[in-house]
């Protein structure tokens, strides 16, 4: 992914995260049980945090010119889809087995952050 693609992905994920947060705070607050609303809020928090991570990777990609960053961006994006996406689906459906997908997204997040650190380490 190019830095431009990552910025677009980051901005769209920030948009979706803000919209999902507002939707949860206003539309879902009275419709979901407290435990599922907390799941929704966790999905929003991780989506917003990792969308910022996508921005960081996009801004560093031209500067560090590391192939590791070329992997970090897609992994972070996959993490958002798998981690937050599975939590959104779980919160809306109540189907707890969807939570089994969440750790896969978490591992993608961890790998992306590790690759970012390694890219910075090697560039120093």
Average pLDDT of the chain?
97
64/82 Cα distance (integer angstroms)? 27
Phi, psi of 8 (to 5 degrees): -60, -45
Give the domain ranges of the chain. Answer: 3-123
Global confidence as pTM: 0.94
Span 11-69, pLDDT tens digits: 999 999 999 999 999 999 999 999 999 999 999 999 999 999 999 999 999 999 899 99
């Amino acid at each position: 992914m190019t830095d431009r693609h990552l910025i677009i992905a980051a901005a769209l994920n920030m948009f979706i995260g803000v919209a999902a947060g507002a939707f949860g705070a206003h539309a879902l607050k009275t419709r979901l049980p407290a435990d599922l609303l907390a799941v929704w809020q966790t999905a929003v928090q991780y989506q917003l945090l990792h969308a910022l991570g996508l921005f960081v990777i996009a801004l560093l990609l031209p500067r560090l010119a590391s192939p590791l960053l070329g992997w970090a961006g897609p992994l972070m994006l996959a993490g958002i889809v798998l981690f937050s996406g599975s939590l959104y689906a779980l919160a809306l459906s109540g189907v707890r087995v969807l939570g089994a997908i969440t750790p896969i997204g978490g591992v993608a997040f961890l790998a992306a952050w590790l690759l970012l650190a390694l890219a910075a380490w090697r560039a120093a």
